Amino acid sequence: MKERKKKNERETMSFKFSKIRTLETGYNSGPWNMALDEVLMNCINYHSMPILRIYGWRPPTVSIGYFQSMDEEVDIKRCRQMGFDVVRRITGGGAVLHESELTFSFITNVYPKNIMESYNLICDPVVICINKLGFNSKFVPLNDIIVDGKKVSGNAQTRKKGILLQHGTILLNVNLEKMFSVLKVPSEKVKDKMIDDAKERVMGLNKPFDEVAYNLKESFSDKFGAEIVVDNLTTKEEECTKKLTEEKYTSDKWNLKR
């Protein structure tokens, strides 16, 4: 086991980039955020720099994993009453309320083919970032980062045509009562127990978004020996995102497909 761990560490250390295109796209709707991730993934080619995107959600959004059923997981009526977006991701995983968090995406065509190694590689700068902020965090396979035994970051991946997209959250604050109010649970009694259990397993960093964003950029630079190239979306990327938002990520055909 120790030999395998050392081998994985050596392999992940070997991935370096000269530059990382960095996009800080601010707060946007759930459908727009998911459309942009897909657009950026489709724009990467052999000669492209990897992309680090840092963003937030406005209005708050409930996203579900690609393989989940929206009707089974989410109280859509309640979300609409509260003004929340709902959207299906192209990645797997469970239902999540995105509100008080920093979300990032990392898109690259150079990555370990082993799934565990790729999660370890991309989560490592997130661990570095959280530790720069004064915490003692660590990566826990398959895709979580914890502080003092509590989850502060969850991550999900997809791969398509040789391109890897990983997006993840860094929790700033957590309102579990609000989260469980928009997810479907069997009963109030079960919901109360789930909230109590989650309070033992999840925490926020209670740090400002901008401070976390600054440290995250530094940490990706440190990890990969890369220059951070702060950039804006191109006109084509914006147009494609608007089109994909309207045609896919706001449609019942996509969001309610299962």
**Residue ranges covered by each domain of the chain:** 2-250
Fold held by 2-250 = BirA Bifunctional Protein; domain 2 (3.30.930)
pLDDT at 13: 52
pLDDT in tens, 158-214: 999 999 999 999 999 999 999 999 999 867 777 888 889 988 999 999 999 999 999
Query: CA-based angle 52:57:61, to the nearest 5?
Result: 125
Query: CA-based angle 6:107:255, to the nearest 5?
Result: 120
pLDDT at 74: 97
For residue 165 the two structure tokens come to 């997209």
pLDDT in tens, 8-17: 444 545 689 9
pLDDT in tens, 7-58: 444 454 568 999 999 999 999 999 999 999 999 999 998 778 999 999 999 9
pLDDT in tens, 211-249: 999 999 999 999 999 999 999 999 999 999 999 999 999
Element (H, E) at 112: none
Of the CA atoms within 13 Å of residue 198, those in its CB half-sphere come to 16
pLDDT at 58: 98
pTM of the model: 0.92
> In angstroms, what CA-CA distances link 217 with 22, 86, 104, 138, 139?
8, 28, 10, 18, 18
At residue 136, the 3 state secondary structure works out as: coil
94 DSSP assignment: -
User: What percentage of the chain exceeds 70 in pLDDT?
Assistant: 94
